[in-house]
Amino acid sequence: MISLSLQQKMLQRLSPQQIQLMRLLQVPIVSLEQAIKEEIERNPLLEDDEDSTESFAANDEETIYDEESYSNEEQNHFLDHYDDYMDDYQSYREKIDYDTSQEERNILYASEASFQDYIIEQFNLKETTENQHIIGLELIGNINVNGYMERNLASIVNDIAFRQGIYVSDEDVLPVLRTIQSLEPAGVGARNLQECLSIQLHRSEDQSADTKNAIKIVDNHFELFSKKHYNKIEQKLKISEAELSAAIDIISKLNPRPGNGFVSQSDNPAYIVPDFIVTEIDGKLSVQQTRDKPSLKVSKYYTNILNDINKSKKPTKEEKETATFIKEKADAAKWFIEAIEQRYKTLDITLGVIVDYQKKYFLSGDINDLRPMRLKDIAEMTDFDISTISRAINQKYIQTDFGTFSLRKLFSKSHIGDDGKDSATETIKSAMIECIKTENKSAPLSDEELTKQLNQKGFKVSRRTVTKYREQMNIPVQRLRKEIVK
């Protein structure tokens, strides 16, 4: 029997203005400039004063930011050192540098925009519905320079709902992802290294017995393969050492980074555009945003038209429709201007607190001076919500006298050692990297030996902590770090 009942619920919904502010707050400066351009093109009542054009000149250079790690840390490490892995199998030796912190200070990056345009051109030739086309463009926008899908489908589904107002499920997104994965170069759109290699193998014209063995290894025994447990693979597939060698030889010829083979048509290299600059003068720090706040305004031409219509005693139907249109666009322009102003104000406050909190580090540039700092700490000092701080530092870079790096690098949990000393985890990780860089490659340090060396350096950490930090940095275990010495 069907029954009707009334229910009263408390729901908290974000206003369009709040959603717009959150969207503008989390984007970096280059994306903000593009967003302003698009809003001006979309809304005829929003104008940019000519006087501010020079101070807020759009930077045509594109930027690429840190890639999010894949869900499988071992696969992520395997991708990072894929070439070294294969060289080791062929008994060649190459140096592996685990100091990933230097990557953040390297300002020059390759451009990914033209690569994404290349994927979009192919995707546009596929038969898709309107929603599938929107989903496809969102997916392609999340493909990084290596050709990988750098975010999970659940997050992309949320982005589509947030940005496009279209509610889809993972089941709606997956077929579109498969379409993208059928494009060139082979392996593009993969969510991890295993899927990337599998796509290439299944699309190979050569389907010999060796290729089929390679497919079985990648699809069914990838973990054993990545850990070099060759004997176990031979037993499971019931193949000989020669057959295994032939299959691995095929895998070694695959491209672990399908996006890297694309050559941009532009001769101009792309650079990270920092959002903030910290300068030091006589021991005092000053932080400022790299772009002045744009001088936006509501068009007087259209507001005068609206005023004239409002003064009319008997406006026509067309005039009423025009008045409604102008009012809606004027309100939207005001909301956008207010959101931009609030963005600049929020960033100024947030960065001022961060720089003051990490003053010693900004003065010395020594990572050992980096204080433990959490989003919660800055949120409490600014009276902002934690989510606001997270958006404020999202994909933002800061330029200093000792390098340009992501703001997220400044956030680090604390570790309290047995001696009661409070150290930033990044400081401990940096010391670990130094130990590993100087270890004997033919007999790498075990986690227990790393623990002893760190304790000697003044970091009272346990072996369990060392193991956890090593895994977080995608540094392989002792056995996998061993190199063949000729």
* pLDDT mean over 349-371: 89
- Report yes or no: 210 and 250 within 8 Å, Cβ to Cβ: yes
Phi-psi category of residue 128: left, alpha or beta, with phi > 0 → left and psi -120 to 50 → alpha: beta
pTM: 0.48
Domain ranges of the chain: 14-64+274-408, 112-261, 414-481
* pLDDT mean over 296-321: 88
Among 324, 322, 332, residue whose Cα is nearest residue 296: 332
* Segment 216-230, tens digit of pLDDT: 999 999 988 888 788
Domain 414-481 has CATH 3.30.70: no
- Report yes or no: 153 and 129 within 8 Å, Cβ to Cβ: no
Kindly give, in sequence order, each residue whose CB lies less than 8 Å from that of residue 94, ignoring residues fewer than 6 positions away: 83, 84, 87
* pLDDT-derived band at 58, boundaries 50, 70, 90: very low
* Segment 144-156, tens digit of pLDDT: 888 998 888 888 8
For 354-385, give one letter per residue: b (16+ CB within 10 A) or e.
bbebbbebbbeeebeebbbbebebbbebbebe
pLDDT: which is higher, 89 or 121:
121
- Positive or negative, the Cα torsion across 439, 444, 449, 455? positive
Residue 316's alpha-carbon distances to 310, 324, 330, in angstroms, are 11, 12, 21
* pLDDT-derived band at 66, boundaries 50, 70, 90: very low
pLDDT of residue 366: 80
* pLDDT mean over 208-237: 90
- Tell whether the model's pLDDT for residue 68 goes beyond 80: no
What would you measure as the largest C-alpha separation in the chain, in angstroms? 95
* pLDDT-derived band at 65, boundaries 50, 70, 90: very low
DSSP symbols for 242-273? HHHHHHHHHHHTS-S-GGGGPPPS--SPEE--
Residues above pLDDT 90, as percent of the chain: 21
* pLDDT mean over 324-328: 90
Angle (deg, nearest 10), helices 230-237 and 209-220: 110
pLDDT: which is higher, 183 or 474:
183
- Tell whether the model's pLDDT for residue 69 goes beyond 80: no
- Tell whether the model's pLDDT for residue 105 goes beyond 60: no
- Tell whether the model's pLDDT for residue 341 goes beyond 90: yes
- Tell whether the model's pLDDT for residue 270 goes beyond 80: no
Among 436, 351, 428, residue whose Cα is nearest residue 389: 351
Cα torsion at 242, 248, 254, 255 (round to 10°)?
Answer: -150
**439 burial class (0-12, 13-18, 19+ CB within 10 angstroms)?**
middle
pLDDT of residue 405: 87
Mean pLDDT of the chain: 78
* pLDDT mean over 439-456: 86
* pLDDT-derived band at 455, boundaries 50, 70, 90: confident
* pLDDT mean over 421-446: 79
Range with the largest mean pLDDT of 7-11, 104-108, 387-391, 453-457: 387-391
- Tell whether the model's pLDDT for residue 103 goes beyond 50: no
pLDDT: which is higher, 473 or 415:
473
pLDDT of residue 128: 86
pLDDT of residue 197: 94
pLDDT of residue 161: 80
Nearest 5°: the CA angle 136, 138, 140 is 70
Q: How far apart are alpha carbons 261 and 115 in whole angstroms? A: 10
Phi/psi for 26 (5° steps) reads: -85, -10
pLDDT of residue 83: 52
Residues above pLDDT 70, as percent of the chain: 78
* pLDDT-derived band at 289, boundaries 50, 70, 90: very high
DSSP run (H or E) holding 431: helix 425-437
3-state secondary structure of 217: helix
Q: How far apart are alpha carbons 393 and 407 in whole angstroms? A: 6
pLDDT of residue 33: 87
